[in-house]
Amino acid sequence: MKQAARDGIALGLAVGTSGLAFGAAAVASGLSVAQACVLSLVAYTGASQFALAAAVAGGGNLIAGTASAVLLGSRNGLYGLRLAGLLDFRGRFRLLAALGVTDESTAVALAQPAGGRPGRAAARAGFLATFGSLYLTWNAGTLAGALGAGRLGSPNTFGLDVVGPAAFLALLWPRLRAGRTERAVALAGAVIALAATPFCPPGLPVVLAAGAALGAALLPSGAAGTADAAQAPGPDRPAGPDRAAQTADERPCR
């Protein structure tokens, strides 16, 4: 449980620095400092915030910009489906915890060894530690970036742009070792997102990757594991998750 909290705090502090980038981008695109801060305080989900800022910058359609930002936020709703049973927060506390549902807090919560009361305690500790540290740094970063600190230098100089992917890989690692279905779904999700990237507004490809999970879930129960065992890289098989993914790919994109 201590381990979970430590990992969560470290991840929150590291990833939160990209709040600087958001604050700077938001102001550069024409949002006010207050608008940038409201987004970070209430929406608190990076991809959606960047999407709205980009729409404002393009002088584009605000309705379309808002719609794509909200669509990207649907990812967090999907995370909630999984977290609800795992964390089991109730009542008023759930209203607060909901704000903390992000890629990072979900990843840390899911990376904890499951099972029983200690499993739930570790998942909660990881979730709340990530939420707390990331929320503080993300919002402080947004304010600082919006006020001009973004000009001090790019976070890339310190390699901070690779912290996100590296952390997600580390947190996903136990699940990837757990089973062939997980590996196939992960691979299919990555392939879908990359294939969709040139055709979709930024962020949407990641939402489309949910098609990989849908495909695997619709396969007859148990078949996924055994079929995947027979043939390595699973998602290329026509019956595999990729088929659902391909149809999903073609729908909402331009």
Partner 1 sequence: MSGTWIAVLVTAVCCYALKLAGLTVPPQWLAHPRAQRFATLVPVALLAALIAVQTVGRGESLAIDPARLAGLGAAAAALLLRAPFLVVILAAAGTAASLRALGVA
Could you give the CA distance from residue 99 to residue 41 in angstroms, rounded to a whole number? 9
Q: How far is the CB of 138 from partner 1 (least distance, A)?
A: 13
Verify binding: residue 122, partner 1, rule CB under 8 A: no
Enumerate residues 6+ apart whose C-beta is below 8 A from 4: 108, 111, 112, 122, 123, 125, 126, 129
Q: How far is CA 216 from CA 59, 103, 110, 192, 210, in A?
A: 40, 21, 19, 14, 10
Verify binding: residue 233, partner 1, rule CB under 8 A: no
Verify binding: residue 173, partner 1, rule CB under 8 A: yes
Query: Which of 1, 57, 80, 140 is close enough to bind partner 1 by CB under 8 A?
Result: 80
Query: Which of 170, 233, 237, 243 is close enough to bind partner 1 by CB under 8 A?
Result: 170
Per-residue contact track with partner 1, 89 to 118, x per CB under 8 A? x----xx-xxx-x-x--xx--x--------
The dihedral built from the CA positions of residue 56, 60, 63 and 65, taken in this order, carries a sign that is negative
Enumerate residues 6+ apart whose C-beta is below 8 A from 61: 55
For tokens 């910058």, the residue is 57
Judged by CB under 8 A, the chain residues 17 through 76 that form the site for partner 1 are: 30-31, 35, 38-39, 41-45, 48-49, 52, 55-56, 62-63, 65-66, 69-70, 73-76
Interface stretch with partner 1, choices 115-123, 130-138, 140-148, 181-189 (CB under 8 A): 181-189
Verify binding: residue 175, partner 1, rule CB under 8 A: yes
Q: How far is the CB of 70 from partner 1 (least distance, A)?
A: 4
Per-residue contact track with partner 1, 190 to 229, x per CB under 8 A? xxxxx--xxxxxx--xxxxxxxxxx-xxx--x--------
Verify binding: residue 236, partner 1, rule CB under 8 A: no
Interface stretch with partner 1, choices 116-124, 127-135, 139-147, 188-196 (CB under 8 A): 188-196
* Total interface residues for partner 1 by CB under 8 A: 102
Verify binding: residue 182, partner 1, rule CB under 8 A: yes
Enumerate residues 6+ apart whose C-beta is below 8 A from 244: 211, 212, 214, 215, 218
Judged by CB under 8 A, the chain residues 136 through 155 that form the site for partner 1 are: none
Identity of the amino acid at 185: V
Could you give the CA distance from residue 190 to residue 236 in angstroms, rounded to a whole number? 13
Centre a 10 Å sphere on the Cβ of residue 94 and count the other Cβ atoms it contains.
12
Verify binding: residue 162, partner 1, rule CB under 8 A: yes
Verify binding: residue 130, partner 1, rule CB under 8 A: no
Q: How far is the CB of 185 from partner 1 (least distance, A)?
A: 5
Ramachandran class of 246: left when φ > 0, alpha when ψ lies in -120 to 50, beta otherwise: alpha
Which lies closer to partner 1 via its Cβ, residue 65 or residue 145? 65
Q: What is the DSSP string of 85-148?
A: HHH---HHHHHHHHHT-SHHHHHHHHHSPPSHHHHHHHHHHHHHHHHHHHHHHHHHHHHHHHTT
